[in-house]
Amino acid sequence: MKRIALFLILIDGFVLLSTAGDRSSHYEALRESILSNVTGADKPSRVLDIKDFGAVADGITDCRAAFDAAIQCASERGGAVVNVTEGAYYIKGPITFRSNVTINLDEDAVILFSPDADDYPVVETSWEGTFLSNYSPFIYGKGLHDVAITGKGTIDGNAGNTFALWRKQQKEDQMLSRKMNHDETPVATRVFGPGHLLRPHLIQFYDCERVTIEGVKIINSPFWCIHLLMSQNIICRGVRFDAKLVNNDGIDPDGSQYVIIENIDFDNGDDNIAIKSGRDNDGWRLSRPSSKILIRDCRFKGLHGVVIGSEMSGGVEDVIIENCTASGYCKRGIYVKTNADRGAYVRNIFVKNCRYGDVEDLFYVTSRYASEGDGNTRFSRVSDIHVDGLSCATASAAALVLQGAESEKVSDVSFDNIEVGATVIGISFENVENVTMGECHIGGHAGTPTQITDKDKIFR
């Protein structure tokens, strides 16, 4: 019979001890579906040299016109790789993609963006889940297919002394955008940009199909680093982050489907991966879930490892997180956050064989994020979450947390093969139903009384 070792149990609902049953077949079928349907971008055979279009790699000369010309030429020829060779390329404004274009950065190539907001025109985008017009993302594509960023070079947002400082002044515009969302103000009239302080994204592909981002290093982003907005058939592979400015999320799939995120080295000033699907009224109106997402073989470092929400009003489902590790600081390993404003659902989430070092909370689900919600009328349905193989060395706050709502309990959750070396709270479950637990060692293996010494005790 399996043994369960827990320190503190706070349960409103009921907990059952059971095995995984037939959940593995669902997991394997989902995994195969994602792997067989995701191809990423078709890479063109033709190669263009950015220097042939007038680019000067001195880190001073404005190369925006050269990039625009090279991308236009690539598109007119039916597709091409724009190769960016060694050197630093300063760009006063955005790189705007066209279909069938790959930008490849050689290992010693750097794209250095202007930090001046006046260099970025207003385009259609989304900001924290609300659709509006704002400063263009530094690399932007909308309504495209077969677009890619590849190579070992560096994309430098250069935002440390300008955009990064806007966070302290953004509240008025942030709340205005949310009011427009809730009032269902026509999207065409939600115009920000000059005179406002909503920071642009570094990379955003919006309503695109067959996207690849592979190998590059990302630093100094003005806001979220890679925003995959309402797009599908996406591969993010081998990207390296050293992006520690404010709100530097690593990768944000947002209302996107069939996404593979693999072999990424994260080191971010915010969430490593944050899965979203729109905020409140915009999310309900579009009803575009994020789904069929495989996250594997990643190395986490930053605020949180994998987050779902809180902007998830279109729903999130069919997500696999497997064979990932973490080093350095990571506040929460797996974090599902929603509240009484969000509505929709989070379901069919699989976590398998993920290992963390020192965290505050290892696994955390809450329906009361940020204490938001008017009248508790739109709690999300959070269900069918299955964890098989999750560990950390220490959890300075709690190991496993489930916080449902009285009107919408967190349900159908299973834990197996959980290993937590030391923690303060082992389990805190509130408003849950049908939670099953298998092999769980929280606060270390129990052993016999004579085997336990002071050094084996969990935090006091």
| Helix (H/G/I), strand (E/B), else coil: 383 | strand
Provide the whole-model pTM.
0.93
CB atoms under 10 Å from CB of 337, counted, come to 24
Q: Please, which residues have CB within 8 angstroms of residue 358's CB and are 6 or more apart in sequence? A: 329, 330, 392, 393, 394, 396
Note the Cα 188 to chain centre separation in Å: 27
Residues of the chain falling short of pLDDT 70 = 1-21, 371-376, 447-460
The alpha carbons of the chain give a radius of gyration, in whole angstroms, of 23
What pLDDT is attached to residue 450? 55
Task: Yes or no: say if 7 and 420 are a contact pair by the CB < 8 Å rule.
Answer: no
What pLDDT is attached to residue 8? 40
**Nearest CA to 138 among 27, 221, 32?**
221
What pLDDT is attached to residue 451? 52
What pLDDT is attached to residue 15? 41
Note the Cα 358 to chain centre separation in Å: 21
- Residue 327 and residue 315: Cα distance in Å, rounded? 30
What pLDDT is attached to residue 374? 60
**Nearest CA to 203 among 251, 264, 153, 144?**
251
Residue linked to tokens 């299955």: 386
Using DSSP bridges, classify how beta strands 130-135 and 101-105 pair: parallel, antiparallel or unpaired: unpaired
| Helix (H/G/I), strand (E/B), else coil: 211 | strand
What pLDDT is attached to residue 22? 73
